């Protein structure tokens, strides 16, 4: 017992300062891809999950990236497109609306800069009802709807001594009946669809549904198929989408705060 | 070629001439059985006198080829420690109009799930199989629809039909309770349904139902270019990302006839050991959670977090995704990262020693781990259990030695110390896991010392050769994973099959749980530390 206490004291406090202090991911971290306007951007076929799309408008080629589908593999930023796309380090990507995760670039016109739909402030702010009821303390249920387990491990990491989300009033509970909301991972497999619906229905209103990771947000690498619905919003209404494959723990914390509308102070200027 | 005694014995059971060829790899052997009825006798020769174990079973739909049939390949491997790296495949042709094969399950227990899976996904009926229930497709799947047949369009959802409740296998009698658990669990873990039959706290029987996370990934990969499919293989399982990515790459490289450069092989093996390390360290913490030893839980979680943060510095991803790529590796390990790595590993080693010291010095924890969840040696052999679970029950097998891959396939590979135990209980698995974590740290140091400047990647020129098979076996954190891949005429993925270590180990969890009490199930389960996602695919 004494040794345990000594070890604990020697280890000291390991908890991160995030979100009060910013988190800087390491140099090699692959966050949101950055598209350069007027460069020669790759064709949609390059992306293994179909996150890149193109359309032609008034003779110009518009290329769009869907961050919800992106698995941050970095293939589109490899040669020969390394000059047109770089993997940025932005990881605070969660949004309330799926459309806010679209980045659009005009491929052949450098004068038009990349656009990401400015977050709709009205939508960005959580409904006053949710903020009133859940804003200070949030108890979540985890729902694995067919994930590869990576997102699940990152949710578990939120409870480790480093992220310790309980300090933010966030905790994970065993029963949906004790929960204010649910964090869903995975694309909603056929074999889990009924269980997923029932779990969410067991949560009292008002409730939050947070889609964690590319599979939950869009179907990701799985997509729609005989065994997969292709994303949580095909089955249930989603309040917040958190991109990533998987999102790093800070990205999930950010997403949960977006869901609660507790970021107003931090996001005085729209990103 | 195989030894003459094996060939003679097989020739005898097929009644004369043997249709044998070398392949898929030069050290492997494929035997085509003209009569499906000869399958049980041939399989009995392999697992009996020649002590081989079932490695995987792969069904394919070849109705569009001139042969116009379905095929099933039963792949065996030697079960002895240090046996030659060889796979022996028994290949049978199945009439698509009457798709029936003799079941091997009553003789070879490890065939159980493989046969149920091919019945669900291909409609190939294993005649004489003792369990008629579906495995992969769940309630409401339409009769007579087989998703891995080529004629089936896998890109669309299939309506759910009314269905009776799944018939769980439950014990009956006075005072026997049924306890249903899952598929959605109380903790942050993957989904599966466990039906306990218990008297008081004693478990009489556990019926585990999995495949809730079946995503149809094998079908999804069909028809894709080898590179596009790689990103899916790397994401079949989060915590086996390196192992499965590597197994897929080695199969692809075999087909392409290329060799990853030696620096790439060393970096791949470093990544594979890092993956084993963060898994094993995290699991030592989770076992403490199962035994209500919270200091251990927090320590394990902290050590794992440190390793995952280092993963992010090395690969740009906390699960080391994006490091391995067909042909080699995408990222180098420069000197400054090696310094960071060495420091983190030093701390991790001290952390493991400290944590194991606290576990072993704590009688209330030791009492929970000793004699709990016993997997007997014979059961581990019969079920072809692999990884830590097998080694803790005295099965001396490790794919890094039996099927050399990564840096172990280079000339003069480092020696591998395979840790084994004999008790087969939770404590034995904890001890083997801790020894393996230490061994991984030693191996990483060894691989780093061998790093020499050189290319990171070879190009896979043009499309892959058509109609070729690649097979690889990788020792992941959970044991041996067997990858089987065949290209179509255009060099795309025609069929890919992953037999994950968890696939063979899950039935062992149910057996071990029957030696424990209900409240110890989380502890037993954690000591096996299996994946649902790479079992279910």
List the CATH code of the domain at B4-127: 3.30.460.80
Cβ atoms B96, B68 nearer than 8 A: yes
Percent of chain B topping pLDDT 70: 100
Chain B hits for A191, CB-CB cut-off 8 Å, are: 137-138, 211-214
Domain with CATH 1.10.645.10 in chain B: 217-536
Residue A271, pLDDT score: 39
Domain chopping of chain A, boundaries: 33-119, 123-260
List the CATH code of the domain at A33-119: 3.30.70.3270
Cβ contact A151–B238 (<8 Å): yes
Chain B hits for A199, CB-CB cut-off 8 Å, are: 184
Q: pLDDT band for position A263 (50/70/90)?
A: low
pTM, 2 dp: 0.94
Contacting A residues, span 52-111, partner chain B, CB-CB under 8 Å: 71-75, 78, 87
Residue B475, pLDDT score: 97
In this structure, of B41-50, B393-402, B472-481, the range with the lowest mean pLDDT score is B41-50
CATH 3.30.1490.20 fits B217-536, yes or no: no
Residue A270, pLDDT score: 40
Q: Averaged over A222-238, what is the pLDDT?
A: 95
Complex confidence, ipTM: 0.92
More confident residue, A66 or A265: A66
Residue B472, pLDDT score: 97
Cβ contact B301–A161 (<8 Å): yes
Pick from B301, B312, B322: CB nearest A26: B312
More confident residue, A8 or B337: B337
Residue B28, pLDDT score: 94
Pick from B220, B314, B322: CB nearest A74: B322
Residue A213, pLDDT score: 97
Architecture of domain A123-260: 3-Layer(aba) Sandwich (3.40)
Which residue on chain B is closest to A199 by alpha carbon? Answer: B184
More confident residue, A132 or A99: A99
Cβ contact B215–A225 (<8 Å): yes
Chain B hits for A143, CB-CB cut-off 8 Å, are: 184
The rounded distance, in Å, linking the Cα atoms of B283 and B295 is 14
Residue A118, pLDDT score: 62
Q: Averaged over A206-220, what is the pLDDT?
A: 94
Residue A62, pLDDT score: 87
Cβ atoms B252, B271 nearer than 8 A: no
Q: pLDDT band for position B62 (50/70/90)?
A: very high
Q: pLDDT band for position B510 (50/70/90)?
A: very high
For residue B137, CA distances in Å to A23, B45, B144, B160 come to 43, 33, 12, 11
The encoded tokens of residue B308 equal: 């995952």
The rounded distance, in Å, linking the Cα atoms of A184 and A203 is 13
DSSP string, B458-520: ----SSPPTT-EEEEEEEETTEEEEEEEEE-TTSSEEEEEEE-HHHHHHHHHHHHHTTSBGGG
Which residue on chain A is closest to B217 by alpha carbon? Answer: A222
B252 CB-side CA count, 13 A: 30
Helices (H), B291-328: 294-315
Cβ contact B301–A11 (<8 Å): no
Residue A111, pLDDT score: 74
Strand B100-102 relative to strand B324-325: parallel, antiparallel, unpaired?
unpaired
Q: From the CA atom positions of chain B, what is the Rg in Å? A: 23
pLDDT in tens, A142-152: 999 999 999 99
Q: Averaged over B66-83, what is the pLDDT?
A: 94
Contacting A residues, span 5-44, partner chain B, CB-CB under 8 Å: 7-8, 11, 14, 25-30
Cβ contact A191–B186 (<8 Å): no
Q: Averaged over B333-337, what is the pLDDT?
A: 94
In angstroms, how far is CA A116 from the centroid of its own chain? 16
Domain with CATH 3.30.460.80 in chain B: 4-127
**Helix, strand, or coil (residue B76):** strand
Q: Which residues, in sequence order, are CB contacts of B344 under 8 Å at separation 6+?
A: B306, B307, B310
The rounded distance, in Å, linking the Cα atoms of B26 and A74 is 36
Distance from CA of A122 to the nearest CA of B (A): 32
Q: pLDDT band for position A268 (50/70/90)?
A: very low
Strand B29-33 relative to strand A240-242: parallel, antiparallel, unpaired?
unpaired
**Helix, strand, or coil (residue A186):** coil
Residue A3, pLDDT score: 82
pLDDT of B264 strictly over 80: yes
């Amino acid at each position: 017992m004494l040794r345990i206490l000594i070890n604990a004291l020697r280890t000291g406090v390991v908890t991160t300062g995030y979100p009060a202090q910013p988190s800087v991911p390491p140099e090699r971290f692959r966050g949101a891809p950055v598209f350069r306007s007027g460069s020669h951007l790759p064709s949609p076929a390059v992306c293994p999950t179909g996150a890149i799309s193109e359309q032609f408008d008034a003779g110009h080629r518009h290329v769009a990236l869907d961050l919800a589908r992106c698995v941050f593999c970095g293939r589109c930023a490899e040669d020969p497109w390394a000059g047109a796309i770089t993997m940025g380090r932005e990881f605070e990507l969660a949004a309330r609306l799926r459309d806010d995760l679209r980045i659009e670039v005009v491929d052949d016109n450098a004068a038009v800069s990349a656009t990401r739909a400015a977050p709709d402030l009205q939508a960005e702010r959580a409904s006053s009802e949710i903020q009133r009821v859940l804003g200070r303390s949030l108890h979540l249920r985890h729902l694995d709807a067919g994930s590869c387990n990576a997102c699940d491990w990152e949710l578990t990491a939120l409870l480790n001594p480093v992220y310790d989300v309980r300090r933010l009033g966030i905790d994970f509970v065993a029963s949906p009946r004790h929960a204010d909301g649910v964090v869903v991972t995975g694309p909603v497999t056929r074999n889990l669809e009924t269980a997923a619906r029932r779990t969410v229905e067991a949560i009292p209103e008002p409730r939050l549904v947070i889609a964690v990771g590319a599979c939950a947000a869009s179907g990701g690498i799985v997509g729609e198929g005989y065994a997969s619905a292709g994303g949580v919003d095909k089955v249930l209404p989603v309040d917040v989408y958190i991109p990533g494959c998987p999102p790093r723990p800070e990205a999930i914390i950010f997403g949960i705060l977006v869901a609660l509308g507790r970021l107003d102070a931090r996001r005085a200027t729209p990103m | 070629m195989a030894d003459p005694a094996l060939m003679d014995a097989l020739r005898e059971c097929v009644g004369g001439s043997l249709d044998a060829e070398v392949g898929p790899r030069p050290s492997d052997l494929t035997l085509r059985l003209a009569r499906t009825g000869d399958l049980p006798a041939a399989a009995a020769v392999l697992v009996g006198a020649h002590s081989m174990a079932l490695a995987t079973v792969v069904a394919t739909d070849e109705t569009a080829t001139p042969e116009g049939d379905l095929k099933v390949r039963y792949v065996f491997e030697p079960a002895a420690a240090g046996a030659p790296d060889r796979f022996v495949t028994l290949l049978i042709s199945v009439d698509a109009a009457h798709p029936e094969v003799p079941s091997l399950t009553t003789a070879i227990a490890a065939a159980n799930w493989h046969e149920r899976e091919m019945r669900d996904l291909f409609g190939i009926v294993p005649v004489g199989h003792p369990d008629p229930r579906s495995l992969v497709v769940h309630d409401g799947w339409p009769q007579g629809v087989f998703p891995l047949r080529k004629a089936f369009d896998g890109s669309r959802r299939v309506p759910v039909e009314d269905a009776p409740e799944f018939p769980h296998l439950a014990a009956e009698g006075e005072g026997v309770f049924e306890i249903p658990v899952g598929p959605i669990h109380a903790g942050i873990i993957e989904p599966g349904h466990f039906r306990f039959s218990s008297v008081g706290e004693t478990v009489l029987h556990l019926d585990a139902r999995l495949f809730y996370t079946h995503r149809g990934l094998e079908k999804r990969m069909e028809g894709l270019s080898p590179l596009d499919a790689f990103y899916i293989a790397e994401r079949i399982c989060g915590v086996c990302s390196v192992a499965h990515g590597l197994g897929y790459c080695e199969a692809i490289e075999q087909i392409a006839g290329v060799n990853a450069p030696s620096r790439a092989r060393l970096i791949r093996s470093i990544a594979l050991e890092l993956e084993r390390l963060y898994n094993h360290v995290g699991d030592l913490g989770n076992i403490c959670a199962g035994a209500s030893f919270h200091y251990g839980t927090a320590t394990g979680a902290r050590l794992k977090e440190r390793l995952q943060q280092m993963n992010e510095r090395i690969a740009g991803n906390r699960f080391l995704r994006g490091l391995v790529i067909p042909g080699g590796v995408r990222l180098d390990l420069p000197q400054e990262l090696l310094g960071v790595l060495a420091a983190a590993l030093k701390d991790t080693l001290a952390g493991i020693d400290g944590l194991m010291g606290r576990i072993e010095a704590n009688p209330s924890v030791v009492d929970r781990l000793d004699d709990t969840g016993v997997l007997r040696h014979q059961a581990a052999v019969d079920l072809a259990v692999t990884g830590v679970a097998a080694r803790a029950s005295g099965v001396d097998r490790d794919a890094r030695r039996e099927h050399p891959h990564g840096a172990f396939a280079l000339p003069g590979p480092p020696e591998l110390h395979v840790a084994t135990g004999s008790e087969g209980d939770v404590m034995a698995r904890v001890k083997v896991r801790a020894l393996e974590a230490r061994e991984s740290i030693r191996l990483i140091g060894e691989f780093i010392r061998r790093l020499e400047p050189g290319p990171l990647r070879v190009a896979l020129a043009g499309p892959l050769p058509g109609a070729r098979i690649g097979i690889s076996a990788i020792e992941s954190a959970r044991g041996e994973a067997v990858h089987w891949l065949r290209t179509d005429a255009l060099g795309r993925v025609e069929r890919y099959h992953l037999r994950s270590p968890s696939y063979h180990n899950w039935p062992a969890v149910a057996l071990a749980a029957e030696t424990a009490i209900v409240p110890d199930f989380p502890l037993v389960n954690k000591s096996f530390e299996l994946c649902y996602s790479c079992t279910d695919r």
